[in-house]
Structure 1
Amino acid sequence: MAEPTKELAVFLGIDTGGTYTDAVLWSEQRGVIAKAKALTTRHDLSVGIAGAVEGILAEASVVPSHIRLVSMSSTLATNALVEGQGGRIALVMIGFEKADLEKADLGSALGSDPVIFIPGGHDVYGRPQPFDTSALSEILPELIGEVTGFAICAYFAVRNPEHEIAARDIVRRETGLPVTCSHELSAKLNGPRRALTTVLNARLIAMIDRLVAATEGFLDRSGIRAPLMVVRGDGALVSAAFARHRPIETILSGPASSLVGARYMTGLDEAIISDIGGTTTDVAVLDKGRPRIDPNGATVGGFRTMVDAVAMHTFGLGGDSEVSLDDNAMVPGIKLGPRRLVPLSLLAAKHGSLVIDHLMRQAKSATAGRLDGRFALLTGVPAQMATGLSKNETELYGRITVEPQPLDRLLTSMSQATIVNRLVARGLVHLSGFTPSDACHVIGLQKNWNAEAARYGAVLYARRKDGAGRPLCDTPEEVSHRTYQALIRRSSEVVLETIFAEDGLDGPDIVASPLIQQALSGERGIAGARLDIDRPLIGLGASAPVYYPAVGNMLGTKCIVPADTDVANALGAVVGQVSVSVEAHISQPMEGLFRVMAGEVVMDFQIEEESIAFAETTVKHQVGQLALEAGTDEAQISIERNISAATVEDQRKFIEAVIVATASGRPRIAH
C-alpha cells in the first residue's frame, strides 16, 4: 500500500485476548488500512503485541511517526475473573464486622487471602468513628512476602474517605506494595460490594500493569510516540496510567470494545451481539445504536461488582473451552467450559514432536488413562506471583517447566490433580487438553494449528467410557462433530439466556425448559414452540465464521458476520471516546445544615442553593481533572442534578441531592 500523507492521522488498535493478540491500523478517511493476528504470549505479552503490530506496519508501509494514537482493549482481566485467577492480596476492613464477609459474596471472592479488621469508618453524614491502626501496623511485616497488594475498604468511605487514605499511606510506607481504596472506585453505598470490587481490583493490578508495561515497552522500541489509551468496561477510552490504577474498570474491556467495533462495522442500531473468543462468549444487546449499561454493575465470574459497564452477559464458553463429560446419564453428554485449556493443536504447533510423541504413546496403550491427552506447563508470570503457596503446591510447582509435560508422567498420584488445578487457578500453570478448536481441526473447519495433535486428542477422548463402560464414540471424527455441535447448541443457549434476561425474565430457567430445548433441537410433538427474535445476530471473533451461521440457523434469525469480525475488538478500541463521571452527595445531618461530600472534599453550608452551587463547581473541576488524566484535552462537561425533597404540611423538606458531572471527548493525539 502507498505511504499515507503526513496529514493522515493513523490510529493503531490492539486487543490482547486469551489466545490471540489482534492489531488494526485505521484512519477516519480510509477506515481499516491493515490488520493482523499473533498468538498472545502470556509469559511476555510484548512478544505477541510485536508479532501483530509489526506485521501490519510492514503491510501498510506505515512509518511509526504517522501513528498519532494507540488504543487497546483486553480480555485478560475478564478471563482472570471468570477463571478465578489473580494475585494474592490482603483486605483491610475499617469499621466492619466479620459477619460482613458473608455479604455480597465477599468471603467467596477472598478465598484464603488474609483480611484485617480495624476500628474506624464514618457514619452516613461523614462523621468519624474511633480509629485505631495499631493492628494493621503489627501485621504488615508478616504480609510483605505473602501478598502482591492490598485492598482497603472503610465504613461509609464514600461519605468521608479520610480513614481509607490514612490506612493507605501506612501500607504504602511500610510495604511499598500496590494499594487500592474503595472510594477511588465507586461513590455508591453498600460496603461489602464496594469491598468486593476493591479486592478484585487489587488482584488485577499486577496483570494489567504487565500488559501496559509490555505495550509501552514495545511502542518505545518501535519509535511510536503516541498516547496509549485503554478501553474501559463501558466502552469509553481512558489513559493507560488511569487504567493501571483502576484495572477493575477494564473488566469487560474487550467485549465493550467489540460492541463499539460491531456498531461501526455494521451501522446497525438494533442487534444482538455475540463475541466468541478462546475463553469466553460475551453477549449484549444494542439499542438505538448504543449498548445497554448495566444499572447494577458488571457481573463477571459470578461476582456482582460496582463497575459501570455494558450490560454484557459473559459465559465461560469459547473455542478453547475444556471439554468434559456429563456423567449423569447412561449416554453422557458433552459439557464445555468454563475453564480454558491450551488446545492440543496449538501446543503442538509451538512444541512439535514433544507433544505428538506423548499423545502417540498414550494412544497406543491398550487401556485409556484418566490423564490421557493432558499436559501442564508454566505460564511464565513473575516469581512474586507465586507467593503464599503450600508445601505440596511449592513442590509440584517446582517440577513444572516452560516445556509441556504430560500429566500421566508429571503426577505421582491422582490427588495431585487437585494441586495442579489450584496452580492453574492462581494463574501460575497452563493446562492443555482437547477443545472445540481441536475438534474443528479434525473435521476440517480450522487449519491454523497442528491437525495431527488435534486428531490424537480426539482419539484419546473418544476412548473415554460411558455409564455402561462403552467408549464414548467410535471415531475421532464422531467425537469432534459432537463437540462442534455442543458448542453451537450452547452458543445458541447463551444468546437466548441473554435475551430473556434483558427482557426481565429468568434466562437460564426459561432456556432449560422443555419447550425451548425442543425448539432448539428442531423437534416437536402435536404442539411445538418456534423462536422469534426481533433483531439480527452479529457474530464476532476469529472463530465466528466457523460457528455463528449455524447458531443463527438454530435461533431462526438473520446472522451477520462482518468482514473484519476477527479484529472487532481492536477496531472498537480506536473509534471510541473518553468519558468519565464524578458525583457529589448533599445530605442534611441536622435542620438547616447542608453537607457536601465530593470525594475527599467535605464542606458544610447553611443555605441549600449555596451547597448545590458549591457541589456543581467542585465536581465540574474534579471531572475536568479526571478527564485530563483519562486522556482528553477537549472534554465537554455536563451536569445532572437529582434532588430529593418531600412536602410536609405544605412545607418543602430537603432530603438529599446527588450532583453528577460527566466529561467526554475524543482522546488526545500526538502532533
Structure 2
Amino acid sequence: MIGIGIDTGGTYTDAVVYDMDRKKILCSGKALTTKSELEKGITEALDMLEPDYVKKAELLALSTTLATNACLEDKGSRAKLLMIGMNPEAMGNLEAVYASYGFHDLSQLVFIDGKPEHIFQEPEEPDWEALKRRIPKEFRNCAAAGVVQIYPQADGGKLEKKAKAILEDQIKIPVTTAYDMFDELDVLKRGAGTLLNARLIPLIAEFLAAVKHVMKDRGLDIPIAIMRSDGSLMSEGMAKDYPVETLLSGPAASVVGGSVMAKTSDAVIVDMGGTTTDVALIRGRQPVTAEKGISIGKWRTTVHGLYVDTFLLGGDSAVRFNDKGMFLDLRRVIPISLLAQRHPEVTVKLRGLAEQHRSHTRMLSEFYVLQKDIGRGEGYTREERRICSALKKAPLMAEELAERLGTDIYGLRTERLEAEGVLMRSGLTPTDMMVVKGDFPVYSPDAALAAIEFLAENVPEEAEEIPEKIYRLVEKKLYCNIVRILLKQKYPGKEKVINKKSVQELIEWSYEDAVNGKKGDWISLPVRSELPIVGVGAPIHIFLPRVARLLGTEAIINENASVANAVGAIASQIVTKVQLHVKAEYDGAELKGYSVYEGSEQRMFAEYPEAEKLALKLAEQQVLDKSRRQGASGSPQVKISVKKLRLTEDESSVFFESIVEAVATDQFQISAGGSRSADGCS
C-alpha cells in the first residue's frame, strides 16, 4: 500500500511517498512553511513528489510542530478556562501555584462555584443564570474556551457538560471539557491541558483546512490521519476536537521516523528544526514514554506521550548580544537571508546601517514583518492597528517603524502582536551563518554579511569570526542539553538537582574540557555515552557529528534524515490505551469490598474476582470504542494487563488497587475516506 506523509514544521514542510508494505521511501519533497498561508508550503512539498505515486496513495498521514511551537513560544488563539468549584482565595500564593502549572496570565481563568465536600459527593449546582450574565464580558474576543470542574468523578462531569452547552449557546465558539480528555485527579493539570486544547483548536483547524484544500485541488479523496503525542495516529475528526493530543506530534514523528531509519535497538534521537530541537530515546527498539504526562515549555499537562525533551534551539534561533557577548535567544526569527530574497531592499538598508559603524544596546539590524492582516479586528488597540498598517507594504527596521508611528524604538508596543503571530521579527540566525559559510547555499549571503558587520560593532569578535562563533554556540547548547537529558535518565527523580544552575555550569565546564581535550590537569570533566545519536532534521548534519565525537560516540544520519518526520507520520499506526481501577474500599482497617467505576456509577463487589471481571470487560469495550473513534480499521489486537498495587511486594500484604490497562493496536481505517475512481483520483 502506498501512503503520503506530510510534516508541517515551523520552518519547513516535508512530504514523502512511502511504500507501507516494503517500508521504503519512494520519493520526497521539502518546502518552506508559510505560517500565514499554510497551503503554500504543503502545495510546494506535495508537488515535488512523483505524480503517479501520489495518485496511487491510499492514506495521507500528517505530523506538525505547530502546537509544540505555539506552547514553547506561548502563542495561540485567545481562550479562557471556566473553573467550576475552585476557591482561588484558599490556595495561598495564588499566582505562584497557578504559574507552576503554566497559568501565568490569571485573566485567562474564570471561577464559578459548585464545589462538593469530597470526591464522591454530588457537587453543588452553580448559579447558571449568573454565569450567563458574565459570559458576554468574560469571554469577549475569545476564539475558544475550556471547562474544568473539581472532582468530576462524583457526577461523570455533569457540570462541565452543562457549562459547555451554555457557553456554546451564547457565544458560538468551540468549547472543550476536561472530563472528555483526562482521568487525572489534579484539577490544575487537567485545567492546563484543557486551556491548551482550547487555544490550539483554531490553529489545528486552520492546518487541516489547508491540507484539505490542497487535496481537493488535486482531486485527492483519501482519509487523513494525524500523529498524536504518543507516536500513534488518530482521525481528522478527533484531531479537530482534541488538538492538544498533537502537542508533541512533530517530535513523536521524529522518534518514529528516526527509529525506522536508525536500525539500532538503543539510541538517542535528536531532531533539530528551525525553531526547536527535540531529543527522544529508544530502548530495546521501543520509544521511551513520559510517565507523568507531557511538560512542555511552562505547561504541565496530563497529555500522555513519548518522552521528548524539547528546547528552543534551531536554525532560526535569534542571534543577539548583551554586555557578555553574543548568545542564542529563545525567540525564533525569520532568517535575514530569506527575508532579503523576498524583499531585496532589505540588503540595501542593512548595508547602509553597516556603513554607519554604530554601536547600540539593541539589534537595530532586525526587521518587523507582518504575517497576517488584522484589518479593523476587534480586541486590538489603535496603536496595534497602526503598527500593522505601517508594515503592510514591506518589512521595516525598528527605527523606521518608530518614525512612522511618531515615537522611538523604546515606545514600540509589539509584544501582543508577536505573541499572537501577527508580527514576526527577522534577523541573524544560525541559518544565516550556514549561508555565509556555504553549508546552505540556497540564499545570497549579502544581507547576512551586512548584518554581521553591525553585530561586529557591538561584540569583541571580528566580523569574519562571528559565523564560526555562532556554530560553536549551537554546538555547546546541543551538547549541554543532551548531557542534561541523559543525566535525568540515569538518575530518575533527581530532576531538581540536575536543573540547578550549579549543575548546568558543571555541564558547561565538561563541554569546554571536551572541546579543549584537557588531560592530566587537576581534573577533567568530559562526559561519555555509549548510545549512538541519530540525527533528524535539515541542519543536523552540520552540528551533530562533532557533538557525538565530544561525547565519545557515533552520529547516525540517514540520507533521508531531513524528511524523517514525514516518514514517521506515515510509518505509524493506531495505538489506543485505556486504564480502569479496581480499588479496595476500607472503613478504617476493615475491608468493605472492591469498587469499579462504570461511567459515573460506582459498582461495589464483596469479592475481588468479580470486580476484576467487570473491569476487564469494561476496559475491552472502552478501548475498542476509543480505537474506532481514533480511526482503527475495526479489528484491532487487544492486550489487557493487570497490575496489583500492595503495601509491599509480598502477596499477603495490604492490597490498595489494581490498574487494568487495555491496549488496542491496528492499522488506520483506509475505507473511512472518500470514494476513489479506478485511476486513483476521485
Instruction: Say yes or no: TM over 0.5.
Output: yes
Distance in structure 2 (CA, Å) of the matches to 1:382 and 1:126: 48
Distance in structure 1 (CA, Å) of the matches to 2:411 and 2:174: 33
- Over residues 10-63 of structure 1, what are the superposed CA-to-partner deviations in whole Å (9 max), with x where a residue is unaligned? 1100000001000000102260100010110111211110110111134xx325
Name the structure 2 match of 1:3. Answer: none
2:375 touches 2:385 (CA, 8 Å); kept in 1?
no
Q: Counterpart of 1:35 in structure 2: which amino acid?
A: S
Distance in structure 1 (CA, Å) of the matches to 2:515 and 2:637: 51
Structure 2 residue runs without a partner (length 5+): 677-682
Name the structure 2 match of 1:279. Answer: 275
Distance in structure 1 (CA, Å) of the matches to 2:240 and 2:178: 15
Q: Do structure 1's residue 629 and structure 2's residue 629 form an aligned pair?
A: yes
Name the structure 1 match of 2:333. Answer: 341
Name the structure 2 match of 1:461. Answer: 455
1:376 touches 1:432 (CA, 8 Å); kept in 2?
yes
Q: Do structure 1's residue 139 and structure 2's residue 126 form an aligned pair?
A: no
Distance in structure 2 (CA, Å) of the matches to 1:63 and 1:280: 30
2:350 touches 2:447 (CA, 8 Å); kept in 1?
yes
Match of 2:409 among 409, 414, 423: 414
2:153 touches 2:600 (CA, 8 Å); kept in 1?
no
Distance in structure 2 (CA, Å) of the matches to 1:413 and 1:12: 50
Distance in structure 1 (CA, Å) of the matches to 2:113 and 2:529: 54
Name the structure 1 match of 2:482. Answer: 495
SS at match of 1:34: strand
Q: Counterpart of 1:41 in structure 2: which amino acid?
A: T
Q: Do structure 1's residue 442 and structure 2's residue 442 form an aligned pair?
A: no
TM-score (norm 1): 0.90
Match of 2:82 among 80, 92, 102: 92
SS at match of 1:48: helix
1:518 touches 1:528 (CA, 8 Å); kept in 2?
no
Distance in structure 2 (CA, Å) of the matches to 1:246 and 1:489: 37
Q: Give percent identity, aligned residues only.
A: 28
SS at match of 2:351: helix
- Over residues 446-475 of structure 1, what are the superposed CA-to-partner deviations in whole Å (9 max), with x where a residue is unaligned? 1112321221221222222xxxxxx53322
Name the structure 1 match of 2:3. Answer: 11
2:14 touches 2:28 (CA, 8 Å); kept in 1?
yes
Q: Do structure 1's residue 473 and structure 2's residue 473 form an aligned pair?
A: no
- 1:157-196 equivalent positions in 2, closer than 5 A: 157-158=152-153, 160-196=156-192
Match of 2:57 among 67, 71, 83: 67
2:147 touches 2:177 (CA, 8 Å); kept in 1?
yes
- 1:248-263 equivalent positions in 2, closer than 5 A: 248-263=244-259
Q: Counterpart of 2:223 in structure 1: which amino acid?
A: P
Name the structure 1 match of 2:417. Answer: 423
How far did residue 77 of structure 1 move? 0.6
2:101 touches 2:298 (CA, 8 Å); kept in 1?
no
- Over residues 235-263 of structure 1, what are the superposed CA-to-partner deviations in whole Å (9 max), with x where a residue is unaligned? 11111211111111111211111111111
- Over residues 183-239 of structure 1, what are the superposed CA-to-partner deviations in whole Å (9 max), with x where a residue is unaligned? 222111111111111111111111111111111221122122221111111111111
Name the structure 2 match of 1:640. Answer: 641
Q: Counterpart of 1:529 in structure 2: which amino acid?
A: L
**Stretch moving more, 294-303 or 503-512:** 503-512
How far did residue 654 of structure 1 move? 6.4
How far did residue 355 of structure 1 move? 1.6
How far did residue 288 of structure 1 move? 0.6
How far did residue 276 of structure 1 move? 0.4
CA, structure 1 residues 615+388, in 2 after alignment: closer, same or farther (shift >3 Å)? Answer: farther
CA, structure 1 residues 655+579, in 2 after alignment: closer, same or farther (shift >3 Å)? Answer: same
Distance in structure 1 (CA, Å) of the matches to 2:499 and 2:334: 28
- Over residues 516-544 of structure 1, what are the superposed CA-to-partner deviations in whole Å (9 max), with x where a residue is unaligned? 14423325334323322021111110111
Distance in structure 2 (CA, Å) of the matches to 1:437 and 1:653: 60
- 1:247-646 equivalent positions in 2, closer than 5 A: 247-327=243-323, 329=324, 332=325, 334-351=326-343, 353-369=344-360, 370-380=362-372, 388-401=379-392, 403-411=394-402, 412-417=407-412, 419-464=413-458, 471-475=459-463, 477-504=464-491, 505=494, 506-509=497-500, 510-513=503-506, 515-524=509-518, 525-587=521-583, 588=585, 592=592, 595-598=595-598, 600-608=599-607, 609-633=609-633, 634-644=635-645
Name the structure 2 match of 1:234. Answer: 230
CA, structure 1 residues 645+313, in 2 after alignment: closer, same or farther (shift >3 Å)? Answer: closer
Q: Counterpart of 1:358 in structure 2: which amino acid?
A: K
SS at match of 1:317: coil
1:125 touches 1:589 (CA, 8 Å); kept in 2?
no
TM-score (norm 2): 0.89
CA, structure 1 residues 536+507, in 2 after alignment: closer, same or farther (shift >3 Å)? Answer: farther
Q: Do structure 1's residue 57 and structure 2's residue 56 form an aligned pair?
A: no
Name the structure 1 match of 2:680. Answer: none
Name the structure 2 match of 1:118. Answer: 112
- Over residues 58-113 of structure 1, what are the superposed CA-to-partner deviations in whole Å (9 max), with x where a residue is unaligned? 4xx3252x111110111111111111111111111111111555435367535154
**Stretch moving more, 160-169 or 354-363:** 354-363
CA, structure 1 residues 14+546, in 2 after alignment: closer, same or farther (shift >3 Å)? Answer: same
CA, structure 1 residues 387+614, in 2 after alignment: closer, same or farther (shift >3 Å)? Answer: farther
CA, structure 1 residues 658+254, in 2 after alignment: closer, same or farther (shift >3 Å)? Answer: same
Distance in structure 2 (CA, Å) of the matches to 1:578 and 1:381: 39
Q: Counterpart of 1:375 in structure 2: which amino acid?
A: F
Distance in structure 1 (CA, Å) of the matches to 2:555 and 2:63: 25
Q: Counterpart of 1:335 in structure 2: which amino acid?
A: F
CA, structure 1 residues 382+74, in 2 after alignment: closer, same or farther (shift >3 Å)? Answer: farther
2:143 touches 2:173 (CA, 8 Å); kept in 1?
yes
Q: Do structure 1's residue 152 and structure 2's residue 169 form an aligned pair?
A: no
- Over residues 615-658 of structure 1, what are the superposed CA-to-partner deviations in whole Å (9 max), with x where a residue is unaligned? 333332222121111111132222233445679xx999764444
Name the structure 2 match of 1:129. Answer: 123
1:342 touches 1:431 (CA, 8 Å); kept in 2?
yes
CA, structure 1 residues 241+114, in 2 after alignment: closer, same or farther (shift >3 Å)? Answer: same
Q: Counterpart of 2:395 in structure 1: which amino acid?
A: P
2:433 touches 2:467 (CA, 8 Å); kept in 1?
yes
CA, structure 1 residues 630+585, in 2 after alignment: closer, same or farther (shift >3 Å)? Answer: same
Question: Cα RMSD over matched residues?
Answer: 2.5
Q: Counterpart of 1:488 in structure 2: which amino acid?
A: E
SS at match of 2:550: helix
Q: Do structure 1's residue 78 and structure 2's residue 68 form an aligned pair?
A: yes
Distance in structure 1 (CA, Å) of the matches to 2:7 and 2:527: 34
How far did residue 607 of structure 1 move? 4.0
Q: Counterpart of 2:278 in structure 1: which amino acid?
A: D
1:12 touches 1:25 (CA, 8 Å); kept in 2?
yes
Distance in structure 1 (CA, Å) of the matches to 2:632 and 2:580: 22
CA, structure 1 residues 390+63, in 2 after alignment: closer, same or farther (shift >3 Å)? Answer: closer
Distance in structure 2 (CA, Å) of the matches to 1:607 and 1:661: 24
2:510 touches 2:524 (CA, 8 Å); kept in 1?
no
